[in-house]
Structure 1
Amino acid sequence: MKCPFCGHTEDRVVDSRVGREGEFIRRRRECLKCHRRYTTYEYIEDVLPHVVKRDGRREPFDRQKLRGSILKSCEKRSIAIQAVDNVVADIEAKLHERAEKEISSHELGDMVMENLQRLDQVAYVRFASVYRQFKDIAQFMDEVKGLLKDDKPKPAPAPKPRAPAGRLAR
């Protein structure tokens, strides 16, 4: 491992610990030249699909790109970073379950929208405006109306008949 301080390539492992349910190994290392310590993490290499773009190009799935686009749609909203990371983790888990070599950008966008709709409606509409490439305000309004229609409260059940005052119902 190359020392981040002096660039020397020889080190020794001082401590190793398994992290978060065995998902990674955290190692403390000490450079044999400058004797400074640093931390490295070992992860199992993810076998995630390539994303097929609208124009047919294929590019590797990029977790940071996905996270960045979700963060952008959540800007200036009171949404915890952990909630965004949970959305990204949920999407990655679904991609692992599918175990496919490719996913269309359309399907990936739908996964994001499904998660954002549950997380925050404003973030959902922001993401939708870019993802669906609204041409005008009418398309934007249609999306908002659909969101409002899906979010309408269910009507309260009709009240049960009550006995007139002063009399007991039998």
Structure 2
Amino acid sequence: MKCPFCAHTNTSVKDSRAIDGDSAIRRRRHCLECNARFTTVEHVQLLPLKVIKKSGTIEAFSREKLLKSLSLALHKGEIDSMRKEKILNSLIRQLETLGDIEIPSHVIGELVMQTLLDLDPVAYIRFASIYQNFHQPEDFKDFVRRLSDKTLKNDQES
């Protein structure tokens, strides 16, 4: 593996251990050229997922991009990085079980929104503001009002 500090390809693994309920491996690595140490994480990939964008273009699914979106939405929340990883892994497993390699971006967005709604309503609103492209304060107001109406209706049905 290439060293992220000096780009040398001669590195060695110093330690490996299973994480996330044995669904990933964390490796501690050492560069033999610059002596830097760094960590890598390997995850099982059941299917090479692709995302169908709104424009119709298709691109490779990015675990990092989804994690960044989750982290932005959950910013200032009480969810630690380990929990975010578990949420991310759960979302990816759900996408993989859809049975299709090419997944429309709106399906991913809706799945993330449902997960965030159950987890943290403020994170749900943050994510929705980007996903649904809010431009004006009224967009937030209308969204929160619809969310409140939906929550009230669900409470009355329970």
Could you say whether these structures have the same fold, taking a TM-score greater than 0.5 normalized by the shorter chain as the test?
yes
Structure 2's unaligned 5+ residue stretches are: none
Residue type of the partner of 1:122?
Answer: V
Structure 1's unaligned 5+ residue stretches are: 156-170
Paired residues, number: 154
Structure 1 residue 92: Cα displacement? 0.4
1:75 aligns with 2:75: yes
1:103 aligns with 2:103: yes
Contact 2:53 2:104 in 1 (8 A): yes
Residue type of the partner of 1:66?
Answer: L
Contact 2:20 2:86 in 1 (8 A): no
User: SS in structure 2 opposite 1:117?
Assistant: helix
Residue type of the partner of 2:56?
Answer: G
Higher helix share: 2
Q: TM-score, normalised by structure 1?
A: 0.68
1:130 aligns with 2:130: yes
**Equivalent in the alignment of 2:64:** 64
Computing the radius of gyration from Cα coordinates, the structure with the larger value is 1
Shift of the 146–21 alpha-carbon distance from structure 1 to 2, 3 Å rule, reads same
Say what the alpha-carbon RMSD is for the aligned residues. Answer: 3.4
User: SS in structure 2 opposite 1:78?
Assistant: coil
Residue type of the partner of 1:84?
Answer: K
Shift of the 74–109 alpha-carbon distance from structure 1 to 2, 3 Å rule, reads same
Shift of the 55–122 alpha-carbon distance from structure 1 to 2, 3 Å rule, reads same
Distance, in Å, in 1 between the alignment partners of 2:70 and 2:46 is: 21
Distance, in Å, in 2 between the alignment partners of 1:53 and 1:64 is: 17
Seq. identity, % = 37
User: SS in structure 2 opposite 1:76?
Assistant: coil
Residue type of the partner of 1:147?
Answer: L
**Equivalent in the alignment of 2:142:** 142
